[in-house]
Amino acid sequence: MKKKALSVVLGICLLGTALVTGCEKKGVEQSAKSDSSKQEETQGSTDDKEKGSAKSASDVTVRYICLTKGIPYFDPIIDGMKESVEKAGATFQDTAPDTSDATAQIPLIEAAIQDKVDVICISPSDPDALCATFDKARDAGIMVLCVNDDITGNEDRRDGAVMSTDYDKLGKENFEAFAESMNYEGKFVALSSKTGTPFQENQMQIYRDMMAEDEKYAKMEFVDVLYGDDEATKSLTEAEAAIQKYPDLKGIISPTSVGIVAAAQAVENAGMTGKIMVSGTGTPSQCKTYLENGTMPNAYLWDTGLCGNVAGTLAVKLATGEATLEPGAEIDLGEYGKVTADDDCLVPAGDPLKFTKDNAGDYDF
Amino acid sequence: MKHKLKINRIIRPELTVFVFMILSLVVGILLSPNFLDIRFLLGSTIFYCELGLMAIPFTLLLTSGEIDLSIAANMSLVACLVAVLYQAGMSMPVLIVIGIAVGTLLGFFNGLLVTVTKLPSLVITIGIMSVYQGFSQVLVGDAAISGFPEWFIGLDQYTILGLIPLNLIILIVVALIFSFLLKKTVWGRKVTAIGLNRGTALYSGVAVEKTKVLLFTIQGTFCAIAGIMTMSRLQMAKYTIAGDGQMDVITMVLLGGTAFAGGRGSVLGTLAAFFIIVFIRTGMRLALLSNYSQMAILGLLLIVVIIISNGLEKMAKKYE
C-alpha cells in the first residue's frame, strides 16, 4: 500500500515536471516567434524613419486610464481628451478600474502595453505602487503621461504630467483675493477636507507662507484649521462651531468644493453675511447663489475640460514627434494655447479660473 | 457493456470545464488580436494566483459539504497583521511564520465554531467574515502600509525561464497534490463521503467532525499564504487587499464542477476554471470591456456550466 502511494506521488511529480518542461518548450517556440515578429516591426519602423516621416497622427492610439469609474469630476477630462485626440486624427480609448485601490490600475496598464498603444494617459491612484509598471510600459516604447494627479516624488518614472492648473498660483491668487475681501485684517479659519490630503495641506501651507513673507498680511490671524471630511453635514457643523467659538471671525477659506458651500451656508445661517467673508475652491454652479448674495465675494477653480484638451493634444503631438517634453519646453497646442513644462516636465493646462457674481452664470459646471 | 463504460468515463462533470477552458481561449483570441501571446497570458495569471491558491483547499471543503465565506477576510487580516507588526519593528521571516500560524488558527477556529455549534457554515462564516474585516480595519484604518524589505517584495516577478511566473508554478503543484489527496487517498474518499451523506459517513466510522475541522484549518493556512503572497506582489497591505475574493474563489470552484451541496469535487476542474477566469478577464480587459460587464459574463458562464454539467451527470447516471 505504501509502495503504491509512493509510486503515485512519484508519478505526479514526473507529470508535474513534464508539464513544466512541456510549457517551457512551447514558450520558447512562441517567444522565438514573437521575437521575429518584433524584429519585423522594428524594421518596419526604421523604414518609416528612413522615409523621414515619424508616425502620423492617424496611427497614434492614446489610452486614458481614469482613477476609477463613475466620478463626475473626471467626466470633463475624458470628454475633453476624447475631443482633442480625435480632432488631431488619432484614436482615443478610455478605461478605468472599478475600485480606487492603489494597484487596481496595474492590470489595465499591462493590457495597454500588450495592445501596443502609443501613449498612456493616467490619473494615478498612488504615487508609488504603479512605478514598476510604468517602467515596463516605457521600456516597451510607450509614453506615460500623468493627468490631473501626479506621482509626486517619482517624477522620473513617467514622461510628463498635465495638471489642470498651477495649484501654487491658484493658492496665491485665491488667498490674495480672500485677504483683500477681509481688508487685510482680522481672524480667519480654514475649512479643509480630511487631515493630510495633499492638495488641501499644500494650499494651507501657501497661505501660511504668504502671511510670513508679506507685511501686508500682518494684521491677519490664521486661528484654526477645521476638518469637514468632505461631508456636507460635518463641514457645516464644523463651520457653525467655529463661528460660535470666534465671535470676531472675519473670514473662512475652504480649499474644497464641499467645504466652501458649507462655510457659506453656515455664515448665512448665522446672519453674518458681509461680516464673515467666504472664499476657496468650488464650482460656479454650486457657489452661484452665495456669489450673487455677497456671502462669497469670489471663488476659484480650474477648467477640467481644458485639462483633458491639453493632455489629449499634447499626447498626440508627443507621439508623432511634433513636440518633445523636456524641462522648460514651450509647446504650442493651437486652439488650447501655449503650455510650458516645469523642471519635472509638469505642464499646467491653464490659468486658475476666478468666479465672481458677474461671471458665475457663464459656466455650466 | 464496454461501450457504455467508455461513455461513462468520458462524460464527466469536469469535461464541461475543460471544453469551456478551450472556448474561453478562443473567445479571448476573437476579442483581441493581441491576446494570443503566451508570455502575456502566463504573466496575466499572477493577478489571480492567490485566489486560485485559496480555491484549491476550498474545493475539498465544499466537497465535504461545508463553505467558508471568511477566506478573503482571513487573507487581509493576516496581511494587515504582518504589516503592522513589521512596522513595529519585527523581522519579516519571523512574521511570515507568525502570519501563517495566525491564518491557520483562524481557520481552525472557524472549524471548531462550525462543528461545535452545528450551525450551517454559511451562517457562521458570514459573521466571522465581518469580524475579521473589522479587525483588519481597526489594525490599519484606511492607510496602506508599505516599505517592506527588498527580498520580500515582488515574488510574482520570479519566473521559470523568464516565462512561467513562480506563483503559477506554486498553484499548479499545490493543485496536483490536492487532486491526489482527494482522488487517490482514503482520506480524500472520506471527504467526499462526508459531503455525499454525513450520516452514512459517520456510521461507517469516518471521523466527520475531525475531518471538517482539519479542512477548515488547511483553508486557513492557505488564506494566510495567499495574503502574504498578495502583500509581496502589491508591495503593500491594506484592509481591502483581498476585496471580495471569496466570490471569485467560489466562482472558480463551482465553475470547476464541484457540487455546491458537496459529495462531488474536482481540484483539476478548479484549476481549469482558474484559467477560464484568467482568459476571460484578460481578453475582456484587452477589449476594453468594463469590470461590470466582465462580472455579468462570468456569472452567466457559471450558470451555463452548472446546468450543462448537471445534465451530463444525469446522462452519465442513465448509462450506469
Decide if A115 is inside a domain.
Answer: yes
d(CA A299, CA A355): 5
d(CA A273, CA A222): 20
Band of pLDDT at residue A97, cut at 50, 70 and 90: confident
Per-residue pLDDT tens digits for B18-60: 888 999 899 889 888 889 888 899 989 999 999 999 999 999 9
Its pTM stands at 0.74
Exposure class string for B216-253: b at 16+ Cβ within 10 A, else e:
bbbbbbbbbbbbbbbbbbbbbbbbbbbbebbebbbbbb
Q: Give CB contacts under 8 A, 24+ apart, made by A134-137.
A: A134/A109, A134/A158, A136/A109, A136/A110, A137/A109, A137/A112, A137/A113
Choosing from A275, A301, A327, the residue where a domain stops is A301
Residue with cell 480587459: B285
- Measured between beta carbons, the chain A residues lying within 8 angstroms of B292 are 69, 98
A271 with A324, same domain: the answer is: no
Largest CA distance in chain B: 69
Residues of chain A whose beta carbon is less than 8 angstroms from a beta carbon of chain B are: 5, 8-9, 12, 15-16, 19-20, 23-24, 26-28, 30-31, 34, 69, 93, 95-99, 101-103, 106-108, 110-111, 114-116, 126, 128-129, 132
- Side chain identity at A104, as an amino acid letter? A
A230: burial class by Cβ within 10 Å (0-12, 13-18, 19+)?
Answer: middle
Q: Check CB contact under 8 Å for B236 and A129.
A: yes
Return mean pLDDT, chain A.
84
Choosing from A266, A281, A301, the residue where a domain stops is A301
Choosing from A301, A316, A336, the residue where a domain stops is A301
A171 with A281, same domain: the answer is: yes
d(CA B182, CA B167): 22
A269 with A225, same domain: the answer is: yes
Per-residue pLDDT tens digits for B265-315: 999 999 999 999 999 889 988 888 877 788 888 888 888 888 887 787 777
* Cβ-contact A270, A208 below 8 angstroms: no
Give yes or no for B243 touching A (CB within 8 A). Answer: yes
Task: List the single residue in A24, A31, A69 with the smallest CB-CB distance to B290.
Answer: A69
A228 with A315, same domain: the answer is: no
Domain that holds residue A103: 57-158+304-350
- Measured between beta carbons, the chain B residues lying within 8 angstroms of A28 are 161, 163
Task: List the single residue in B39, B180, B235 with the smallest CB-CB distance to A31.
Answer: B39
Q: How many CB atoms lie within 10 A of CB B254?
A: 22
Q: Is the pLDDT assigned to residue A41 strictly greater than 60?
A: no
Q: CATH number of the domain that A146 lies in? A: 3.40.50.2300
Q: Check CB contact under 8 Å for B240 and A31.
A: no
Q: Check CB contact under 8 Å for A20 and B44.
A: no
A125 with A68, same domain: the answer is: yes
Query: Could you state, in order of their start, the residue ranges of all structural domains in chain B?
Result: 13-313
Q: How many CB atoms lie within 10 A of CB B37?
A: 16
Decide if A19 is inside a domain.
Answer: no
A69 with A115, same domain: the answer is: yes
Per-residue pLDDT tens digits for A256-305: 989 999 999 999 999 999 999 999 999 888 899 999 999 999 999 998 89
d(CA B109, nearest CA chain A) in Å: 30
Decide if A3 is inside a domain.
Answer: no
Give the number of domains in chain A.
2
d(CA A362, nearest CA chain B) in Å: 35
Band of pLDDT at residue B9, cut at 50, 70 and 90: low
Q: Provide the pLDDT for residue A298.
A: 94
